[in-house]
Structures are given as C-alpha cells and as structure tokens.
Amino acid sequence: MLYIQSDGSPNGSNDSVVSRDLKGGPIVTFLSPSQLKEMADLSFLPDGRLIYAVKEPPPMSDTCNYWVTRIDPRTGQTIEQSRKLTHETGFCMNSAGATADGKRFAFVQWKPHLTSYVAQLASGGTRLLQLRHFPLNDTMDVIGDWTADGKAVILADNRTGHFGIYKQSFDADTAEALVTKGYGSFPRVTPDGKWVLYFASAQSGGYSPSEPTPLMRVAINGGPSDRLLTARPWAFITCSRSASGACVLAEPNDNRRA
C-alpha cells in the first residue's frame, strides 16, 4: 500500500510517499520530500512503475513532461533509472490514468493563460463600464503599470516566447518594445514618469523568483537598460503616485517573513 505521509507543513513541503505491507511491517519511504517536490501528477502502476510529471526549466516553464521510473515498494530503492516518456511543448498535464494492463495512459493537457482587461470606473468607483480585453492578442500579457499621462500601459508579455516589457497606447494596435532581452518582469513606472523599473533574469534561462534578481531601469520610450541593484529572491517593488516621488523595494528576510 502506498500513501502520502504529511506533517501539515505549508504547501506540503515535507510530504513524502511511503509504503507498507497490508499485513503489517515497517513503513518504507518510497519518495522523500526532496524527491516529491519536483514531481506532479503521480501515477503508480501495478508492476511498480511510477509515472510523474516534471516542469521544464526556464524559459520553458509553461511546459511539463511525463517521466517514468521503477521503484521497489518494499525497499524504496530505484530499480530502473528515470527516463522521459513524453516530449511535449507549450502545456502541462494532470489527471493521468493508466489502463489495467499498464500499457496505455490518458491525461488532460492544460496551458496557463493570463489576460488583461481595461475599463472605465463609474458611480464613485463602484461600477465598471466598457470592459474590454487589452491588448488584443493571443499571448499572455499582464498590465504592470500605467504611464504618467494615463494614455498607455506598460505590459509584461511573452509574445516572443519569454516575457519582455512593452508599452502600448490605448489608441494603438501594436505595442512598442522596451525590453526584449533579459526576461523582464513586474514593470513599474517611476513617479516622474521617465523610467520603467523591472526585474530581470540573473541567468540566461529566464526569470526565477527563487534566485537573486537584478533590478533594472529602462527609459519610458526605450533604450538600453541600467542595472540598479540585485534584490533578494521574492522581492517586490512599487512606486508612489504622490509628491513623495518614492519607489519602495520589499525583500524577504532570512526567514522569508518580511
């Protein structure tokens, strides 16, 4: 018998998969917490094979693939090295189910998609009027901020296969590229309206919130980017619209609590 053993840690960070003979005996660790956190959508087959999904590394973070291995449930020892079972791109999967003979399996494929909308505020900010999708494209786009005059938005968009920073006016059909290299994310316009601050990738593989991240600056109309500082993982930045003219960077402490 296989089952999940948990100590109630947030997000199941200390969960493990253990096995035990139905007739009794010792509990054997089948998958440790460090192994389990890299896996998703586990399927155990009667012959001891384990099929599981793994997310691809950046910049293919929106892609998962199935892997297969074989583990002895009596000892927890791997008896067949993992090998890649699928070679898909552009989506992840879940809800896998195998046939009784273990020769075929089916799964649901899914793809995350972020879509931004704009609207007018009415009735003292209690109603939305003229809600519409903006910009009109099929890529994932996130409105990060507005220009100082309120006539354009700053977008984080993956139209080139990785996230870059773009500016698009509400009366324009196309966006102006500000940052297409360095995997820009979470753009914020400075209070004076002259600059866009954003987080870039510390490595060529793409933005990763688990790594120290360069905070960059690019002119509101484009041009070369300047590196301002390196922030801790999971940092966040916001800029004031008041006369203080300040931008605030929030970073977690060593306990990731502030």
* Predicted pLDDT at 24: 78
* Angle, alpha carbons 71-75-2 (nearest 5°): 65
User: What is the pLDDT at residue 240?
Assistant: 86
Mean pLDDT confidence for 106-126 = 77
172-187: average pLDDT? 83
pLDDT tens profile 55-101: 887 656 678 888 888 887 677 778 888 889 888 877 788 788 888 78
Enter the pTM of the model: 0.58
Tens digit of each residue's pLDDT (9 = 90 or more) over 42-54: 888 877 788 888 8
* pLDDT at residue 58 in the model: 64
Residue 128 reports pLDDT greater than 70: yes
Q: Which of 75-84, 159-168, 204-213 is predicted least confidently?
A: 204-213
Domain residue extents for the chain: 2-110, 117-250
pLDDT recorded at residue 224:
92
Q: At 10, is the pLDDT very low, low, confident or very high (cuts 50, 70, 90)?
A: low
pLDDT at 174 over 80: yes
95: number of Cβ within 10 Å: 11
pLDDT of 205 = 45
- Residue 88 is predicted with a pLDDT of 80
Token pair for residue 125? 């900010």
Q: Which residues, 6 or more positions from 210, have their beta carbon under 8 angstroms from its beta carbon?
A: 233, 234
pLDDT-derived band at 220 (thresholds 50, 70, 90) equals very high
Q: State yes or no: pLDDT of 216 exceeds 50.
A: yes
